[in-house]
Structure 1
Amino acid sequence: MKSHDLRHTGRSPYPGPSKPFKKWEFITGNRISASPVIGIDGAIYIGSEDHNLYAMNSNGTKRWEFTTGDMINSSAAISSDWTIYIGSFDKKLYAIHPDGTKKWEFVTEGGISSSPAIGNDGTIYVGSMDKKLYAINPDGTKKWEFITGDIIPFAPAIGNDGTIYVGSFDRKFYAINPDGTKKWEFITGGSIYSCAIGDDGTIYISSCDRKLYAIKPDGTKKWEFFIGTYASSAPAIAPDGTVYIGAQGLNNAPMLSAIHPDGTKKWEFTTEGNILSSPTIDSNGIIYIGTSDGKLVSINPDGTKRWTFVIGDVINSSPVIASDGTIYIGAFDKKLYAITARP
């Protein structure tokens, strides 16, 4: 699922390549804004703005494609029974069998750009442009809906206790009980993008008010960090509690900020292009980010550059790492890339 787990930490259990080499590329019919997801059997799932969800084999051959009624710019989620869930701007959430056939569809009242999240009991949670967060049973029936004051374009996260966390463009961040009732809300000064949850239950959210917030599980503010400009992606959280988030600094230079768990700055890494996607952290603590100038950048935990791989077009996709160390990432040039260690 998006950002590797229900808490959106961005952590991968696998190491990435020491030196990048293009293994293969696959061309879709339109640009790729979504992030890839890897299934239990190693299949790679990627949505495209050509309306299709693609299932790819690790050798770059297409397994199947599933056509929706509008563009897909969210990531898929995969349940324990291998069902694939994906939302589309055609206002529908689709459940797809592993062979690419439709299991069911659930219709909302707005386009879906929110990646779905699956709870431990199999409930699927997804936000919609109709301002609602939906809880959907595994059979496709509605469990409940929670109404916010504006669109919900980004994925919910789920805490260890089953609390669902989601931000809305109404400037509020919501904690919702598993039964659909509101636990609490936290108000910021701008529209809210994505969130991530730390090992201690601290919730980190980015807002258009140019701040990163750390919120305690009871809904009170722990600290806030001024990131210079708004971040349109979720933060990632390393095992040591370091928080990584991409934004533009005070001098309008795009950068990745590393923040200590107490809210103080650890380091900054400047890039040439904007960081539009969430960082990924491999098992060695190395960070991977995509940039708007078409580069995949690998950064050491101390903030020094490890390597850069040039793709050549805007990257809005977060990288994902397979068990063999291959990185998969999409770009606006319509392609899904597989990047492995140089032979």
Structure 2
Amino acid sequence: MRWHFKTLKPIDSSPVIGRDGTVYFGCLDGKLYAVSPQGKLLWSFLIGDKIYSTPALTPGGDIYCCSWGGKVFALDAQGNQSGRAAPVQKWLTQIPGRISSSPALNPGGGLYVGSDNYNLYALDNAGGVTWVFTTRKYIEAPPAVAPDGTIYFGSNDAYLYALSPGGTLRWKFNTGGAITSSPAIGDGGTVYVGSSNGTFYALSPLGEEEWRVRVSALSGWIDSSPAIGADGTIYFGCNDGNLYAVSKEGALLWKYQAGSTITSSPVVDPEGNVYVGSWDGRLHAIGRWGELKWSFPTPGPIHSSPAICSSTTPNDGVLYIGSVDGLYALGP
């Protein structure tokens, strides 16, 4: 362990790493934190409500953050790096309903965010609502945005939706169970998503099913968003306690038994190692063939997903993960 930044409440939000190595994350204590690569507090911003969602960083240095109470904030992420003790709030928009979904960036500017009032909202750079798309149940996870601007997201109504950048429906696909994780977009635009019925799907950009894999019939809710490796292998966790590896052709390659529920989403490093948290408080490092390399214990359930520093940021290869007592930095 490199360092441990302590918080008084659990971290369900996943950390996000800035270009300078600053780590941003939300906490159930109602604060958004910015921590240096050395584990020192740069600033904290009081949102005033629980934060379940992961913040999003824009190329221009702004940070978007959502609260459980339906508030969407835009902050100047530079904080005390510009001589200030805390970031500047640029705008605040109140969305009806509660938000556990993380904001997703619109490549053209602005963001998308889902709510438990069944709606997906598109906001512009000034926080104005540009359109609203309504589903039949609540939205818990952020959308994935394709290079052509198509917005893919799931709802608890069992459908995966594909919307145009203007918010019109292109297609929807019934998975047969609630979708509480984010889809991932692979080579060729294939969309991957899991469902609460223990089935994982691959869909074409036109909404046609390419293949499906039934990984678990009992307690098989897939609440973990998929990660795609450099070779196209797809990794995702499941409530049955397994991490699954599936080929881009839909063949089950291996499964790793973590021994406890996995709702954390995996992350893959350049060597093909996979990292994921579990409800027994452990962070697991799994080799590319499904073998356990090491595990790191924390005091309580891990709902947060890990983040890895890339070679373009300080602390290359360092792994960050949130738990019930703060943020951990692990690695070289």
Q: TM-score range by the shorter chain?
A: over 0.9
TM-score, length-scaled by structure 2:
0.92
Q: Which residue of 1 aligns with 2:186?
A: 198
Q: Match for 1:239 among 216, 221, 230?
A: 230
Q: Which residue of 2 aligns with 1:288?
A: 275
Q: Which residue of 2 aligns with 1:337?
A: 328
Please list the CA deviations of residues 109-159 of structure 1 after superposition, one character each: whole Å capped at 9, or x if unmatched.
Answer: 011111111122112111111111111111111111111111111111001
SS in structure 2 of the partner of residue 192 of structure 1? coil
Structure number with higher relative contact order (C-alpha < 8 Å, ≥ 6 residues apart): 1
1:69 Cα deviation from its structure 2 partner: 2.9
Instruction: Tell whether the 8 Å contact from 2:230 to 2:270 is kept in structure 1 after alignment.
Output: no
Q: Which residue of 2 aligns with 1:219?
A: 207
- Does residue 1:158 correspond to 2:175, yes or no? no
1:137-286 equivalence runs, <5 A: 137-193=124-180, 194-228=182-216, 229-248=220-239, 252=240, 254-286=241-273
| Amino acid aligned to 1:209 | N
How far apart, CA to CA, are the structure 1 residues paired with 2:7 and 2:93? Answer: 25
Instruction: Tell whether the 8 Å contact from 1:53 to 1:66 is kept in structure 2 after alignment.
Output: yes
How far apart, CA to CA, are the structure 1 residues paired with 2:199 and 2:176? Answer: 9
Q: Match for 1:110 among 65, 89, 97?
A: 97
Q: Which residue of 1 aligns with 2:41?
A: 62
SS in structure 1 of the partner of residue 271 of structure 2? coil
Q: Which residue of 2 aligns with 1:4?
A: none
1:44-123 equivalence runs, <5 A: 44-98=23-77, 99=79, 100-123=87-110
Q: Match for 2:304 among 317, 333, 339?
A: 317
1:79 Cα deviation from its structure 2 partner: 0.5
1:269 Cα deviation from its structure 2 partner: 1.1
Q: Which residue of 1 aligns with 2:84?
A: none
SS in structure 1 of the partner of residue 331 of structure 2? strand
How far apart, CA to CA, are the structure 2 residues paired with 1:112 and 1:39? Answer: 23
1:312 Cα deviation from its structure 2 partner: 3.0
| Amino acid aligned to 1:68 | I
1:307 Cα deviation from its structure 2 partner: 1.4
Please list the CA deviations of residues 13-63 of structure 1 after superposition, one character each: whole Å capped at 9, or x if unmatched.
Answer: xxxxxxxxx111112221111100011221100100111110111111111
Q: Which residue of 1 aligns with 2:83?
A: none
TM-score, length-scaled by structure 1:
0.89
How far apart, CA to CA, are the structure 1 residues paired with 2:90 and 2:160? Answer: 32
How far apart, CA to CA, are the structure 2 residues paired with 1:271 and 1:328? Answer: 19
Instruction: Tell whether the 8 Å contact from 1:36 to 1:320 is kept in structure 2 after alignment.
Output: yes
Extract unaligned runs of 5+ from structure 2.
80-86, 311-315
How far apart, CA to CA, are the structure 1 residues paired with 2:183 and 2:107? Answer: 19
1:287 Cα deviation from its structure 2 partner: 0.6
1:13-28 equivalence runs, <5 A: 22-28=1-7
Instruction: Tell whether the 8 Å contact from 1:329 to 1:338 is kept in structure 2 after alignment.
Output: yes
- Does residue 1:133 correspond to 2:120, yes or no? yes
- Runs of 4+, deviation exceeding 4 Å: none
1:262 Cα deviation from its structure 2 partner: 1.4
How far apart, CA to CA, are the structure 2 residues paired with 1:181 and 1:69? Answer: 34
1:176 Cα deviation from its structure 2 partner: 0.4
1:300 Cα deviation from its structure 2 partner: 1.0
1:199 Cα deviation from its structure 2 partner: 1.6
Instruction: Tell whether the 8 Å contact from 1:66 to 1:101 is kept in structure 2 after alignment.
Output: no
1:104 Cα deviation from its structure 2 partner: 0.4
SS in structure 2 of the partner of residue 200 of structure 1? helix
Aligned-residue RMSD, C-alpha: 1.1
Identical counterparts, % of pairs: 41
1:20-39 equivalence runs, <5 A: 22-39=1-18
